[in-house]
Each structure stands twice: as C-alpha cells, then as structure tokens.
C-alpha cells in the first residue's frame, strides 16, 4: 500500500487476535481461542514482518497502569482481567474518597478493564516505578522505534489527593515523560516516546515543560469529532472549555479539538502526528465507501496547516468491503496529498474492476449519497436535535431506493464475475455480495429513522444471517466484530 509505519498496540495485542479466533460475532465457524503464549508468538511474528519491510515499528499505548500493578503483558488490553494486589491499592487514584478499581456492571461491582484504571501520579513511588517500568521495557525491546506511553483510557477519574489535585493530569504526565527521558538518556537508549492528547490530557500542562523535546512525538487523537468537516483551525474568539478536575467534557467540533492542539503546540515545539479513527466507526455507515473519503483526504492535506507531520490510522484491519479505495487513497495521499480523489478513484477502479470500473465507481457514489452516512454516524455518536419530518421522509425515501439501485446494477456485476483476471474477478464478487448486503442495511437504518424498533431488529438479524452465508469471502475484508459493536442487533 505504500505506508511506512505500523503501530502494534498493546504489549501483546491479545484482544485483537482473540476477538478473531474466539468468533465473538455472527459466524458459522467454531470458536478456536489461542493461548496467551500463542498470541505472544503471533505478536513477535508481526513485529518481525514490520521490520523485514523496513517500516517504523510503534508499540504499546494503553496498559501501562495495569502492567504497573503486576498484570501479565497479555492481560493489559481492553479485554484483559485486571488484578490489583491489596498492597498496591495505595497507588490507585483517590476518587470520591476511595482508592478503588471496581465499576458497576449489571448491578454488580466488577473490576475495571485494565486500560481504565488510573493511578496516583503525584505519589513519588508511582512515578519512580513507572519511569523504571517504561525504561526497562524500552531496553528489553530495542526493535521498537516509537514507544507509546499513554495513561488510562477513561475521563474524569483523576486522583483527587492533595498531591495530585492541584495540578492538571497533563502536568503529571509531562513530569513522568521527563523522568522516562532522563532514565533512557542515562541508559544511552534512543527510543522515541509518543505522548497522547486524549481524554483528560486534551488540556495542556500549566507548569511542566519538556526538558528534551527531541525525545518525544506528539499524538493528536480527536476521538470525539464527528467527521462532518475536516481539520480546521478554530475561528477567532472561540472560547475553549477550561480544565475542571473530574468534570471535563470533551470537545465535539474539530475546531475545538484543533484549538486544544494549538495550546499544546505552545508547550511542545517538537514533531507530531494525527492518530485518527476514520476506519473504526464512521466508515461502516457509508455503504458506497466513497463519501467519507472526502473528509479523510482533506484531513491529510491539512496536516501541515495544523502543525502536524504525519498520520497514523487507528482502524479495523479488515476495511476493504465493498472495495479498497479508501485504503488505497489514504496511502497515496500521504505521499502526494495534492492528488485529486477523483484521480485516485479512477485509477483504483480501473485496476480493480477493469473496463466497467467507471460504472462501478458511479454506483458506489450513488450508494454513498443514498445512505446519508454522516447523518447516521452523528445519530450514533450524539443525540442530535429533532429532524424536520420532511427531511426524515427524504432520507427514508433515499434508503428505500437502495434495493432498486442495486438491482439495476446487478447485470453489470453478473457480466464481470467470470473476468479472466483473478483480482478483478474477486472485486466483482465482493460487489455481488454487497448487492445483497446494502439493501438489508438500508432497511435497518430506515426502520431506525422511522422508529420501527422490531422491524429494525429483524433487518439487522437478516443482515447477520446474510453475512454468515458469505463468511468465507467476507472474513478477510469485513470486520464483523466491530460492525456488531456499532450495530448490536447484528447477531
């Protein structure tokens, strides 16, 4: 594809592998879970393959706090089992008068996920041990070029003890980062450290500053954005919400997100990159798979304008259904950002589909428009204001047309299923399957729009059965697990 770096998140990406092998989604195949040892071996193989290609290897991210507590590497991701020994409880964050690591689920107190536990970062022993932990890991893994040191993946659970509450989380964060840098320097290690602007660290430090900016790389992660418009500087006079201990509200607009980024850039003069989520949630709503590409393309083009030097995509690995244009364009644009999307699309569809590629591209554009992907994604992420009745009718009418549009295109698909080129043959097979998939999804979304709950549920279930029927082809291009996380009735 032409990308030059790979981020192997977690110490061992057990969660990623286990969700695949354990089949926690509609599937005709039997679960085949792997042991932690096997998954560790897969992770090592992955890292070797990244190095063999001369790519930059990035690693870890969340999970350090669970590792601090003594959890095994394979149990430090979102799906791991958190264990906090009694003697370690003193190092947990003090929130609402308690140092606890439990949460309520189904009316019962259960341990937090390993990535959700927060520490008392003002405690000298917490700082000392975290600094040593990260430095030891860097020394043991010289193959890692960029080591990500992130805090917990939760907001508003910051320690309220006297040592912590007088400073922002970011002040404690930068103090830790400087300590890690000193330790790495003392050990003569050149590992770069990536720090994360995310959750409570959206707000920059007030007092702490980076002692050695060259060691660090800033990661801008606007997880709360809605993908309605691309990266954009805040307008003059935009007031950003102040930091409030355990009462923070994440910005929803990209202008606000960039506004906080600019505040960080006043503190940190070094290099940085965007870490964004186009291929996690929003892409599933775009069943033509070309509409959301306009925002992605413009985001990449505007990286220099917002003071960033690159882009890492947090995404599903299997994001190639009904076609792979967004991935192709993502890679090409990072090398030549001024390339028109239309040019990339024409090139991709000619190569992947052959002589009727133009017709396939136009069909996909039509589907993107009919699915109103941005509207439904915003409905998924936030509660939008009530939509005028006439507008609802218009969107519902467009969704009702999907069946007719796909039926009209089927003869084009059928005449290409026997293409001589095996790649093109497979591309058309994906469109054949998609011609049955898209109308079912349109039915589900139309029922959602019209608040026909039982009809929506039935449509998702029909779609799940259809996906299982075509699992042998879909499983390498379509992430059914993530699709189900977004559409829970898909089962």
Mean pLDDT in residue range 137-145: 98
pLDDT tens-place string over residues 232-275: 999 999 999 999 999 999 998 999 999 999 999 999 999 999 99
pLDDT band at 352 (very low <50, low <70, confident <90, very high): very high
The pLDDT value given to residue 292? 97
Which residues touch 341 (CB under 8 Å, ≥6 apart)? Answer: 293, 294, 297, 329
Is a pLDDT exceeding 70 seen at residue 436?
yes
The pLDDT value given to residue 385? 66
The pLDDT value given to residue 263? 97
What's the CA gap between 17 and 6, in Å, rounded? 16
pLDDT tens-place string over residues 399-435: 999 999 999 999 999 999 999 999 999 999 999 999 9
Q: What is the DSSP string of 63-100?
A: -HHHHHTT--GGG-STTS-----GGGGGGB--BTTB--
Is a pLDDT exceeding 80 seen at residue 8?
yes
Tell me how far apart the terminal alpha carbons of the chain are, to the nearest angstrom.
Answer: 33
The pLDDT value given to residue 17? 92
Mean pLDDT in residue range 19-31: 94
Mean pLDDT in residue range 380-409: 89
pLDDT band at 383 (very low <50, low <70, confident <90, very high): confident
pLDDT band at 388 (very low <50, low <70, confident <90, very high): confident
Q: What is the DSSP string of 278-291?
A: TTTTHHHH-TTSSS
Mean pLDDT in residue range 294-301: 98
- Which DSSP letter does residue 352 get? H
Helix (H), strand (E) at residue 263: helix 254-267
Mean pLDDT in residue range 331-359: 97
Model pTM score: 0.95
Q: Are 417 and 354 in contact (CB under 8 A)?
A: no
The pLDDT value given to residue 103? 86
Is a pLDDT exceeding 80 seen at residue 213?
yes
pLDDT tens-place string over residues 315-336: 999 999 999 999 999 999 999 9
The pLDDT value given to residue 244? 97
Helix runs in 268-356, H state only: 282-285, 293-301, 325-335, 341-353
**Other beta carbons within 10 Å of 14:** 26
Q: Encoding tokens for residue 144? A: 């890692």
pLDDT band at 109 (very low <50, low <70, confident <90, very high): confident
pLDDT band at 394 (very low <50, low <70, confident <90, very high): very high
* Average pLDDT for the chain: 96
Is a pLDDT exceeding 70 seen at residue 386?
no
DSSP 3-state of 480: helix
Is a pLDDT exceeding 90 seen at residue 443?
yes
Nearest in space to 92 (alpha carbons), one of 104, 107, 82, 79: 82
What's the CA gap between 81 and 286, in Å, rounded? 35
What's the CA gap between 167 and 401, in Å, rounded? 56
Mean pLDDT in residue range 340-357: 98
Is a pLDDT exceeding 80 seen at residue 144?
yes
DSSP 3-state of 158: coil
Domain boundaries, the chain: 5-276, 348-486
Mean pLDDT in residue range 198-215: 98
The pLDDT value given to residue 418? 97
């Amino acid at each position: 594809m032409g990308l030059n770096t790979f981020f192997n998140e977690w110490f061992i990406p057990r969660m990623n592998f286990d969700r695949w092998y354990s089949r926690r989604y509609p599937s005709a195949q039997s679960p085949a879970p792997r042991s932690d040892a096997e998954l560790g071996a897969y992770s090592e193989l992955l890292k070797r393959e990244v190095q063999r290609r001369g790519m930059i290897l990035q690693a870890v991210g969340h999970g350090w706090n669970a590792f601090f507590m003594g959890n095994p590497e394979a149990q430090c991701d979102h799906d791991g089992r958190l264990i906090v020994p009694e003697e370690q409880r003193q190092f947990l964050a003090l929130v609402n008068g308690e140092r606890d690591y439990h949460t309520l689920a189904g009316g019962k107190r259960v341990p937090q996920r390993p990535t959700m536990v927060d520490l008392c970062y003002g405690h000298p022993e917490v700082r000392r041990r975290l600094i040593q932990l990260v430095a030891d890991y860097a020394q043991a893994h010289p193959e890692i070029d960029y080591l990500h040191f992130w805090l917990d993946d939760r907001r508003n659970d910051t320690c309220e003890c006297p040592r912590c509450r007088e400073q922002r989380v970011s002040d404690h964060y930068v103090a830790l980062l400087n300590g890690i840098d000193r330790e790495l320097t003392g050990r003569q290690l050149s590992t770069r450290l990536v720090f994360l602007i995310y959750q409570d660290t959206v707000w920059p430090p007030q007092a702490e500053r980076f002692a050695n900016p060259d060691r660090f790389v800033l990661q801008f992660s606007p997880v709360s954005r809605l993908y309605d418009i691309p990266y954009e500087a805040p307008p003059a006079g935009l007031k950003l919400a102040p930091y409030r201990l355990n009462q923070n509200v994440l910005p929803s607009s990209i202008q606000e997100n960039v506004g906080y980024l600019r505040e960080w850039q006043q503190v940190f003069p070094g290099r940085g990159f965007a870490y964004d989520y186009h291929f996690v949630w929003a892409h599933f709503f775009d069943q033509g798979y070309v509409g959301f590409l306009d925002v992605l393309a413009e985001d990449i083009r505007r990286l220099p304008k917002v003071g960033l030097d690159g882009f890492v995509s947090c995404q599903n690995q299997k994001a190639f259904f009904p076609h792979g244009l967004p991935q192709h364009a993502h890679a090409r644009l990072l090398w030549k950002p001024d390339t028109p999307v239309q040019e990339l699309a024409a090139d991709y569809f000619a190569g992947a589909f052959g002589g009727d590629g133009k017709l396939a591209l136009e069909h996909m554009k039509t589907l993107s428009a009919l699915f109103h992907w941005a509207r439904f994604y915003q409905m998924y992420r936030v509660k939008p204001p009530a939509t005028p009745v006439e507008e609802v009718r218009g969107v519902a009418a467009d969704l009702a047309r999907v069946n007719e549009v796909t039926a009209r295109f089927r003869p084009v698909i059928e005449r290409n299923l026997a293409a001589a080129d095996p790649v093109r043959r497979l591309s058309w097979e994906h469109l054949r399957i998609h011609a049955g998939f898209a109308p079912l999804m349109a039915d589900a979304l139309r029922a959602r729009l019209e608040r026909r709950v039982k009809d929506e549920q039935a449509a998702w279930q029909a779609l799940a059965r259809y996906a299982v029927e075509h699992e042998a082809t879909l499983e390498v291009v379509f992430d059914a697990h993530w699709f189900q996380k977004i559409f829970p009735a898909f089962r």
